[in-house]
Amino acid sequence: MNTNYFKTTAIAALTLFCIFTTTSISAQTVDFKSIDTFFKIADKLSQNKNVKKSDWKKLYKTAAYQKLKINQSDCKDIREAMELTFLSENKALCDSLLAAPYSLSDDDYNLKLLLRNCVSLAKNYDDVKNVRQSYDFEELKAQAIRQFRDFMPAVNDSFLTVPDIYFFFNGPDGYAIGNSIMLDFNYFYQNPQRIVGTFAHEIFHAYRFHLKKVKIIYSNALLYTLDRIQDEGIADLINKKGSEYSAKTLTEIGYPIDLEKMYLETVANCSDWLSRLDSLTLAHLDGTMPYDTYQEQILSLIKRNAHPVGYHISQLMVKNGLKAKMLDSFYNPIEFVKLYNSIAESEGMHVFSDRFMTYIDELYSKK
């Protein structure tokens, strides 16, 4: 999914050790409590009615926000974005904030992101509420399962898990947390078909989780990094329409232009990125870099880049006729790297060193 890179990274870290649980396909939840509480407060604000402290508290305590582990600063931004959008007395202030320069490095970046999303939701307020009441969410799930099945050959139904959905208000984004998909309602509203794809993408992650060697992968930063690249790279094939389109979408849905630029730069420098991963690993193997420093360096490399790097590689594999082979070993990051290495030279990309390849094989086969 297109992600709020910074928050997602934190959430991904929190969910590293989350275990997907198997539930039957029909037993999941679609939870609207958070977005419904949001609507109640928005109604009060629009009608200039008093919103009590307990109303805000109720909103922050909803399961969606609790799962997202929102902190005090997030609560403050949510409230401020809502008050700026829905209180008529704040119109001039709201307009001036929307017109101000907008960048990832702004101190009030999160507020500006939420405000854009809140104003966008408010523009279609009645229709958004209608969609919440009338949309066929069961059909959405069914379509997502179909999309996943179309992509994956020979799906083993006993590993097929359909995540719960929690709708809330936040930035225009979705996150996977354990066996749940957390979705901003306006992000859904703007393009429900896109959410079918997002959902199919998340079903892939949950399905893959059942087959991957979780213990070994999470025991080592390099294996974790390679796993993220493979996991996001293949999943992005399900619901993305190319790297440029993915980058452009970030700006369209409300992120500052810097994020689009960063995405495209990462794709353009993908070979250098992989080369750096190789050389850091060799430095570690040579004993010139202790594990803690090495871990810190490669985790910061992957932090924002699992999607652009992984997706670029998986697209190269498809281009080289390796899609079937890639899907045969979709849960094995070492096989993914081997396939990549087989086409790297002809694609003018960094070829991983023999030492690197031997090392990852050893790491992965440890008991």
Closer residue to Zn ion in complex, CB, 32/224: 224
Of 157-165, 224-232, 325-333, 339-347, the window that binds Zn ion (rule: CB under 5 A) is 224-232
- Minimum separation from the CB atom of position 243 to Zn ion (A): 15
- Minimum separation from the CB atom of position 1 to Zn ion (A): 5
Q: Does 11 bind Zn ion (CB under 5 A)?
A: no
Site string for Zn ion, 263-302 (x = CB under 5 A): ----------------------------------------
Give the CA angle between residues 150, 310, 216 to the nearest 5°.
95
The count of residues interacting with Zn ion (CB under 5 A) is 2
Of 153-161, 231-239, 248-256, 270-278, the window that binds Zn ion (rule: CB under 5 A) is 231-239
Going from the C-alpha of 228 to that of each of 102, 172, 233, 267, 272, the distances in angstroms are 30, 22, 8, 16, 18
Closer residue to Zn ion in complex, CB, 20/86: 20
Of 143-151, 233-241, 271-279, 314-322, the window that binds Zn ion (rule: CB under 5 A) is 233-241
With CB atoms as reference, the residue minimizing the distance to Zn ion is 235
Which tokens in the block code for residue 243? Answer: 């790297």
- Minimum separation from the CB atom of position 297 to Zn ion (A): 23
Q: If we measure between CA atoms, which residue out of 229, 266, 244 comes closest to residue 340? A: 229
Cβ atoms of 80 and 94 within 8 Å: the answer is no
DSSP string, 126-142: HHHHHHHHH--HHHHHH
CB count in 10 Å sphere of residue 144? 24
Cα dihedral 67→68→69→73 (10° resolution): -150
Helices (H), 240-346: 243-252, 257-268, 270-285, 291-302, 306-319, 323-328, 333-344
* Amino acid identity at 17: F
Of 39-47, 235-243, 250-258, 278-286, the window that binds Zn ion (rule: CB under 5 A) is 235-243
Closer residue to Zn ion in complex, CB, 140/280: 140
Of 153-161, 192-200, 230-238, 342-350, the window that binds Zn ion (rule: CB under 5 A) is 230-238
Q: Does 203 bind Zn ion (CB under 5 A)?
A: no
What is the spatial distance between Cα 91 and Cα 5, in angstroms, rounded to a whole number? 30
What is the spatial distance between Cα 204 and Cα 199, in angstroms, rounded to a whole number? 9
Site string for Zn ion, 304-343 (x = CB under 5 A): ----------------------------------------
Closer residue to Zn ion in complex, CB, 31/173: 173
Q: Does 235 bind Zn ion (CB under 5 A)?
A: yes
Going from the C-alpha of 305 to that of each of 86, 241, 285, the distances in angstroms are 36, 18, 24
Closer residue to Zn ion in complex, CB, 112/201: 201
By CB under 5 A, name the binding residues for Zn ion.
232, 235
